Amino acid sequence: MTLDEHTIEFTKSFRKKTDEELVASFNREVGVKGWVSIRGSYLEAMRIVLAERGIDISSVHEGTSTKLDKKVILKDKKLVRVDE
């Protein structure tokens, strides 16, 4: 898979964040309806870094789709969707 320049830059940035900061970054995207290609790069970079850290994202990601309808918490190296 060839990554675009935005995904590469976002990936570098996310690698500097703590797990909690990554979760906060994900949660800021929850409920946002707009879509542009750079947002796809942002979310792809986030998925890459979470996977590198061994964090299970199966509750929010399937195939090429990311569920952004509920916030998450990190529990036992797994993203868990929560009701507010």
d(CA 19, CA 56): 12
Gyration radius of the chain over CA positions: 12
Domain spans of the chain? 5-81
pLDDT band at 84 (very low <50, low <70, confident <90, very high): low
Percent of the chain at pLDDT > 70 equals 98
**Amino acid found at 49:** V
pLDDT digits (tens, 9 = 90+) for 1-14: 578 899 999 999 99
Q: What is the pLDDT of residue 57?
A: 96
pLDDT digits (tens, 9 = 90+) for 41-58: 999 999 999 999 999 999
pLDDT band at 79 (very low <50, low <70, confident <90, very high): very high
**Model-level pTM?**
0.90
